[in-house]
């Protein structure tokens, strides 16, 4: 029988049941846990081991800085990624903050990526210089044409 009581596990509410013999139970993940009280049941759920993962990846910032990290999980409440960066710091990051996200790159691939970003920056500077050299104040040019007799 359902009790109307829930236990939160990994960000989701799980309904607590009660057997005819007075035993409380809850199914969390693939396990059904049983206890003589809801307090004891909550303690069992909290003590359940968390799955350990380590997914290495590489990303770049908008400025082209290459960053290596390891995804260690997903936060139960906010669904943000749990990340440990190559410099040892850890933080929660939303999925969109890691775009672009690539597999772990080799040192050679990181070098290639850094070269591509440097080339992109050089080309962007050339485009900006060209645009400035050929700039036109269109409003002023239109006003000048309209002012002609």
pTM tops 0.75, yes or no: no
> How many contiguous H segments (helices) and E segments (strands) does the chain have?
3, 9
On whether both 61 and 84 belong to a single domain, the answer is yes
Same domain flag for 41 and 60: no
Is there a domain that residue 114 lies in?
A: no
Let me know if residue 124 belongs to a domain: no
119 is a domain residue: no
CA 72, 78, 81 angle in degrees (round to 5)? 25
Whether residues 62 and 84 share a domain: the answer is yes
Q: What is the spatial order of strands in the sheet that 2-9 belongs to?
A: 2-9, 12-18, 24-28, 31-35
- Residues 93, 71 share a domain: yes
At residue 29, φ and ψ (nearest 5 deg) are 70, -125
Evaluate whether 38 touches 5 at the Cβ level (below 8 Å).
yes
The whole domain housing 9 covers: 2-47
Q: Same structural domain for residues 40 and 9?
A: yes
pLDDT in tens for each of the 149 residues of the chain? 788 899 988 778 889 999 989 999 999 878 899 999 999 999 998 888 777 889 999 999 888 899 999 999 888 777 899 999 999 999 999 988 888 899 999 999 999 999 999 999 999 999 999 999 999 999 999 999 999 99
Q: What is the CATH number of the domain that holds 84?
A: 2.30.30
pLDDT for res 1? 79
Number of domains making up the chain:
2
Residue 135 lies in a domain: no
CA distances from 113 to 54, 63, 92, 97, 104 (A): 23, 12, 25, 19, 12
Residue 68 is assigned to a structural domain of this protein? yes
| Whether residue 60 sits in one domain with residue 20 | no
On whether both 63 and 23 belong to a single domain, the answer is no
Q: Is 149 part of a structural domain of the chain?
A: no
Are 93 and 59 part of one and the same domain? yes
Predicted pLDDT at 51: 78
Burial 24-35 (b: 16+ CB within 10 A, else e): bebebeeeebeb
Domain match, 60 and 100 both: yes
In the prediction, which pLDDT does 36 show? 92
CA dihedral 19, 21, 25, 30 (to 10 degrees): -80
Examine residue 41 and state whether it is found in any structural domain, yes or no: yes
* Alpha carbon distance 75, 73 (integer Å): 7
Say whether both 76 and 39 belong to one domain: no
What gap in Å lies between CA 65 and CA 68, rounded to an integer?
10
């Amino acid at each position: 029988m359902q009790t109307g009581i829930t236990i939160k596990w990994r960000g989701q509410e799980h309904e607590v049941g009660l057997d005819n013999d007075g035993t409380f139970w809850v199914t969390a993940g693939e396990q059904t846990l049983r206890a003589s009280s809801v307090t004891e049941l909550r303690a069992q759920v909290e003590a359940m081991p968390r799955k350990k993962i380590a997914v290495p990846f590489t990303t770049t910032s908008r400025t082209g800085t290459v960053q290596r990290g390891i995804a260690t999980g997903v936060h139960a409440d906010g669904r943000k990624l749990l990340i440990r960066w190559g410099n040892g710091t850890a933080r929660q990051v939303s999925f969109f903050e890691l775009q672009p996200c690539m597999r772990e790159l080799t040192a050679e691939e990181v070098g290639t990526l850094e070269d591509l970003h440097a080339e992109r920056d050089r080309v962007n500077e050339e485009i900006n210089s060209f645009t400035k050299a050929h700039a036109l104040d269109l409003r002023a040019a239109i006003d000048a044409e309209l002012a002609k007799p």
